[in-house]
Amino acid sequence: MTSHQLSYCCFLIQLLKAFLPCSAATAAGKAPAIIVFGDSTVDAGNNNDIPTVFKANFPPYGRDFDGGVATGRFSNGRLVTDFLSEALGLPSSVPAYLDSGYTTEELARACGVTFASAGTGLDDLTAQIASVIPLSQQLEYFKEYKEKLKVVHGEDVAKEIITEALYVFSIGTNDFIINYFALPLRPAAYSTSGYVAYLVGLAIVAVREAYELGARRVLFAGLTPLGCLPSARTLNLLTPGRCNEENNHAALAFNAGLEEAMRKLNDELAGARVAYSDVYSVVCSILSNPSDYGFVNVAQGCCGTGLIESSVLCGLNQLLTCQDDDEYAFFDSVHPSEKTYEIIANKIINADFKKVL
């Protein structure tokens, strides 16, 4: 075969793959799509065109993404859900539902979508504070997406995709860091344990609604050590530079409640597989043993001074941004680097996929 013939053959293979229904992935026993709800940990650019400061569609974000494009992901490269998609044999990145670069047909054939919005939370008040997309609206977008699948793939294939897809929820961080621990309204109404219970109740409602809309394979990620985010260390006035243990205890309490709630939902929802994913432990391991993972700095972000910058502030301090982000566990003062996201994704692939797939 000549090099011209080989190139043409490769082109035909790629073209064929582009028009195969996502349901073809189930032949290998994997999910045909990945459908994502949540916050900046899994937002691929849904905030790009809405009036909020919670954006990441500018440098230095995305500098290690394909083509060096700042898509709106809060990282130097890919997110956990992008790595999960690739592990399922699907495309190596999950598109944002509101990405205007996708036509209806392209989005329906992308074998995945994220409705996530940076700055949002389980608590609708959190989304109001940040002027972003609440989880309730993300679920409304999911309803629209289902209709788009039917138009492009037909009723039967669309139903198969929805039923067999992997659903990922990653949300809750902002309810604490920009709401409960930052503003007086919720603390005036709830103790920390009361607010945790309130959030867990909202998580249950969200999963039940997704189930009613067809979700059957659901993975709900817990929170990371919130008190060890670079920004939390900076704002810890009692012991500057050290982790804020009050924030960590809140995250652990939420995770414990969430894990129990997901276990109960797994027992209660007929035909569903629902599981909690412990990401707190893997991030704790990175923070405790950075050299084991090849990290040099786990206390500061790569962006700017690494102390407080995130979103627009990250874009303003590019001259101070690190050169080698693989040495940093965090890319900005709140969000992990691509390397950290890949480590978390590998944990989920190895420990959690078998619970829901």
Element (H, E) at 301: strand 297-301
What stretch of H or E contains 246? helix 245-268
| Joined tokens for residue 2 | 């000549």
> DSSP labels for 131-195?
T---HHHHHHHHHHHHHHHHHHH-HHHHHHHHHHSEEEEE--HHIIIIIITT-SHHHHH--HHHH
* Of 355, 348, 357, residue with least CA distance to 42: 348
Asked if 163 and 155 count as a contact pair (C-beta separation under 8 A), the reply is no
C-alpha to C-alpha distance for 208 and 215, rounded to whole angstroms: 9
* Number of other CB atoms surrounding residue 294 within 10 Å: 11
105, 75 in Cβ contact below 8 A? no
Residues designated catalytic: 40, 332, 335
Q: Per the omega criterion (within 30 degrees of 0), is the bond before 60 cis? A: yes
CA distance 199 to 202: 5
- Calculate helix-pair angle for 280-288, 245-268, nearest 10 degrees: 150
Reduce the DSSP state of residue 297 to 3 states and report it.
strand
116, 42 in Cβ contact below 8 A? yes
**Nearby residues of 38 by Cβ (< 8 Å), 6 or more positions away:** 114, 116, 120, 168, 169, 170, 171, 221
